[in-house]
Amino acid sequence: MRASLRWKLSLVLFGVVALAFASVYFVVVPQLESNLQEQKLRDLSRTAQASSSTLEDVMGREIPAGELDRIVRTVADGAGAQVTLLGAQRSSGPGEGGPSFFVISDSRATGEAERNAGLATRAIRSGRIQTAVVQGDGDEVGLAAAPLYFRDRADWVAIYSVNLADVAESVSLVRSRVLAGGAAALLIALLGGYVVARALARRVERLERAAESVAAGRYIEPLPVDSEDELGQLTRTFNTMQEQLQRVGRARQEFIANASHELRTPIFSLGGFVELLQDEELDPKTREEFLGSMAEQVERLQKLAVDLLDLSRLDAGSVQLHTEDVDLTELARAVAREFGPSINQHHTDLDLDLPGESVDALCDRERVVQIMRILLDNALRHTPEGTPVTVSADHSNGAASLAVADAGPGVTGSPSQVFERFHTGDAARGSGLGLAIAKELAERMHGRVRLRSEPGATTFTLELPAEGDGEQG
């Protein structure tokens, strides 16, 4: 297949060059010959027009034949052509054909009245110089017939003739040069095409071997990008693809490891509590504590299962977003009412710092509700009881924002780590998936989640576009 590709590219280049030279040989060269002949005839016609007056001056005069022959030869020498002077003899009877001709004089004494009769007849009837190309003795001959007038009557016709052998020689030389040049060009095209195709094939083979390695799970060093052509761009894209696949592979392994760990901990905990509950001597108070702890672990498993499902749907691209104008102030009040029992249990004061007017954002309502639940749950879960929490909304610079702030101890680690999957400062209080889900949902809606944290003041802000149109999915 590789050899076939090389030869195919070589033959394509060979065919293009062959077609170009065939066009020159069979179209351009014949057209050149025709143009050269036409130029010769135009020059001959102009010469005949210029010298016709000299011959017309002797018409009607009684001059010796030798003197007339001398004049004809002089005109022929000046024209650079053979000149044959024909006399026209018209028939007087009605219905007769064209005139007949006889030779009056010839610069080379080889004139043939019969061969030139047709051209001479056309010249007399049209009253203008007529040209033609005829086959002579081995070579083509260009003719120009000029009618000569005496007392407004065309009684003579001067036939000017030139040999067109030089045109044929020039065209033959061009043909031979085209053939020689074409043969050399075809050979160069064939060899050059093969060399170029071989170089391209090697680069394709390199990409093929690299792709096979990646397909087998063996990642390689980035391929060198040694050109800016299409193959160079393909190589650059391949390197980017391999880098992304490596990141995805590492993320998948980390996800599986972290998910297994997060699932294993509550399951082992539940198993331990079940064994303890099987003790018949267990007092009611301890049994009640164990059941409460089991309920917490079941709740943790339920939340982890929902988060894992959401992440898998985000990774698969199956999350459908329906964009609409949403009032963030009204949404904040609704979610705050939903968190009433959790806030009371946390002994926390929730402050709604919302403007009197609506704050409209272009987003998916249900996904924004999900993000706000994550942010509020995060604020309650990772702060001591009684820590104040504030929800605010604002609109500025073409963006709408919804913020959840708390007066807790702050976030450990860098802001970027907080949004990584399974990252959590307290494994007993969460799976570390909520903020990762919030970040990805916000980005799907062309927004973002920002974190500003210091001891005593931590704020998560959801920013969304405030205007636009269309629906995403």
Give the model confidence (pLDDT) of 100-140 as tens digits. 888 888 887 665 656 788 888 888 888 899 999 888 777 88
Kind of pairing, strands 389-396 and 350-353? parallel
pLDDT at 431: 56
**C-alpha pair distances (Å), 187 with each of 10, 67, 200, 450:** 11, 64, 20, 67
Number of neighbours of residue 329 by Cβ within 10 angstroms: 22
Taking CA atoms, 344 is separated from 18, 150, 339, 380, in Å, by: 89, 133, 9, 11
State residue 432's pLDDT score. Answer: 66
Domain at 230-313, CATH class: mainly alpha
Token output for 47: 């010469």
pTM for this one? 0.46
The second-level CATH assignment, the architecture, of 2-169 is 2-Layer Sandwich (3.30)
**Are 129 and 146 in contact, with CB atoms under 8 Å apart?**
yes
Using alpha carbons, list the distances in angstroms from residue 242 to 202, 217, 219, 231, 332.
Answer: 20, 10, 7, 16, 43
Q: Do the beta carbons of residue 429 and residue 381 sit within 8 Å?
A: yes
The pLDDT tens digits of the residues spanning 384-424 come to 888 899 999 998 887 899 999 998 887 776 666 777 766 66
pLDDT score recorded for residue 308? 72
pLDDT of residue 96: 53
CATH topology of domain 320-465: Heat Shock Protein 90 (3.30.565)
Asked whether the beta carbons of 420 and 431 are under 8 A apart, the reply is: no
Per-residue model confidence (pLDDT) at position 423? 65
**Site of tokens 């913020």:** 403
**In sequence order, which residues have a C-beta less than 8 Å from that of residue 92 and are 6 or more positions away?**
none
pLDDT at 315: 67
Q: Do domains 2-169 and 230-313 have the same CATH topology?
A: no
305 to each of 147, 274, 379, how far by Cα in Å?
Answer: 110, 21, 21
Domain boundaries along the sequence of the chain: 2-169, 230-313, 320-465
pLDDT, averaged in runs of 10, over the chain (473 residues):
62 79 80 85 88 84 84 87 86 62 80 73 89 82 89 87 84 83 81 77 81 80 79 83 77 67 70 77 80 78 72 70 90 88 85 89 90 88 87 87 88 71 56 79 90 87 75 41
| pLDDT value at residue 473 | 39
pLDDT of residue 291: 82
Distance CA 403, CA 270 (A): 37
